[in-house]
Amino acid sequence: MALVASPPPTLRLSGAVFLPALLALLVGCGGKPPATATPGVSTPPPAALPSAPVANTAAAPVPEYTYQVVSTFPHDPAAFTQGLVYLKGVLFETTGLNGRSSLRRVEYQTGRVLQKSDLPSQYFGEGMTIIGDRIFQITWQNQKGFVYNLASFAVEKEFTYAGEGWGLTTDGQALILSDGTHTLRFLDPTTFTVLRTISVFDRGRPLRRLNELEYVKGEIYANVWQTNTVVRIDPTSGQLLGTVDFSGLLSPDDYRHHPDVLNGIAYEASGDRLFITGKLWPKLFEVRLKPL
């Protein structure tokens, strides 16, 4: 399936086109500021790291999905959303941009921010996830992550990693990190060493710009930066299990707020509920996937 580019409002970067010549120019980050910024070069994991066998490199058909909107909720249109997690009836959200990056606890029904902690201005906040009573957050090009107390948002620890940080999720055991390439890293949540990696291909081509991540029913959901596409990935092999086209979520009236790209996936396991939003989006959507 061809990846679907987002409409081009004011704060968007150029649309996604999977031509090799253009891909060479589109190296940047999942948080990725508006078009006036110059993204740095993503650094892939060292070649010596353990990795799964390459999967899905042949031109095999990949299941395609669309969506049905179940409910719509308000979302802070000033939030440059980077990470999103549903836990115990509320959303935890991280936002980006230097001087505007934060960690938030949000009442999803109203969009009201219940708790907030700002990052120092030198950090461009990126994805986040939760294991037990700890929140893990990464940053774009600082090669630094933070571990917070779930209740107080107090910083308990800092950690480092190679390359850029884009998205973060967990399978309940390891942290799973994206860096804008087609490779996902699995990190030990205590030592932050790389346990293994997987590589993701779409019909034989590396599927780069994997961004915000969410672990859903044994799969990794990843949005592809600058598109309306979310891909479903086998966490063991890296095989592409499906693609979801989220085009049309925002109405023409929503573009008065100058939204940026889709970025924000959260899942409530107990109710089997999937939530989608984006950077500077005025709405949060609960959606249900439908096969084409």
**What average pLDDT does this structure show over 63-71?**
98
CB atoms within 10 A of CB 207: 23
- Listed by start position, the domains of the chain span 61-291
- The owner of tokens 């890296």 is 238
The share of the chain scoring above pLDDT 70, in percent, equals 79
pLDDT: which is higher, 167 or 42: 167
In DSSP notation, 55-87 reads -S-S-----EEEEEEEEEEE--TT--EEEEEEE
Q: Give pLDDT, residue 25.
A: 37
- pLDDT tens digits for 102-140? 999 999 999 999 999 999 999 999 999 999 999 999 999
Q: Is 181 helix (H, G, I), strand (E, B) or coil?
A: coil
Q: Hey, which of 55-64, 128-137, 255-264 has the most confident mean pLDDT? A: 128-137
Q: Is 242 helix (H, G, I), strand (E, B) or coil?
A: strand
Q: In the predicted model, is pLDDT for residue 243 greater than 60?
A: yes
CB neighbours of 194 closer than 8 A, spacing ≥ 6?
45, 49, 50, 185, 186, 187
Q: Give pLDDT, residue 257.
A: 81
The pair of structure tokens assigned to 280 is 């500077």
CATH of range 61-291; options 2.120.10.30, 3.30.1360.40, 3.10.20.30, 2.60.40.1930: 2.120.10.30
Question: Would you say 92 and 103 are in contact if contact means Cβ atoms under 8 Å apart?
Answer: yes
- pLDDT tens digits for 191-232? 999 999 999 999 899 999 999 999 999 999 999 999 999 999
pLDDT: which is higher, 174 or 21: 174
Question: Would you say 262 and 41 are in contact if contact means Cβ atoms under 8 Å apart?
Answer: no
Query: To the nearest 5 percent, what fractions of the chain are helix, strand and coil?
Result: 5, 45, 50
Categorize the per-residue pLDDT at 21 as very low, low, confident or very high, splitting at 50, 70 and 90.
Answer: very low
Categorize the per-residue pLDDT at 164 as very low, low, confident or very high, splitting at 50, 70 and 90.
Answer: very high
Q: Give pLDDT, residue 32.
A: 55
Side-chain-side CA neighbours of 128 within 13 Å: the count stands at 30
The share of the chain scoring above pLDDT 90, in percent, equals 78
Q: In the predicted model, is pLDDT for residue 24 greater than 50?
A: no
Side-chain-side CA neighbours of 9 within 13 Å: the count stands at 20
Q: In the predicted model, is pLDDT for residue 247 greater than 50?
A: yes
Q: Give pLDDT, residue 2.
A: 40
Categorize the per-residue pLDDT at 6 as very low, low, confident or very high, splitting at 50, 70 and 90.
Answer: very low
Burial class of residue 112 in the structure, from the number of CB atoms within 10 Å of its CB (0-12 exposed, 13-18 middle, 19+ buried)? exposed
Q: Give pLDDT, residue 193.
A: 98
> Comparing C-alpha atoms, which of 125, 131, 121 is closest to residue 146?
125
**90-95 β-sheet, strand order:** 81-87, 90-95, 102-107, 112-118
Q: Give pLDDT, residue 51.
A: 52
Q: In the predicted model, is pLDDT for residue 47 greater than 80?
A: no
Q: What is the pTM of this model?
A: 0.82
**CA dihedral sign, ordered 277, 42, 216, 60:** positive
**What average pLDDT does this structure show over 35-61?**
47
Convert 156-195 to b/e letters by CB count within 10 Å (16 or more is b): eeebebebbbbbbbbeeebbbbbbbbbbbbbbebeebebe
Q: Give pLDDT, residue 92.
A: 99
Q: Give pLDDT, residue 50.
A: 52
Categorize the per-residue pLDDT at 141 as very low, low, confident or very high, splitting at 50, 70 and 90.
Answer: very high
pLDDT: which is higher, 26 or 161: 161
Burial class of residue 229 in the structure, from the number of CB atoms within 10 Å of its CB (0-12 exposed, 13-18 middle, 19+ buried)? buried
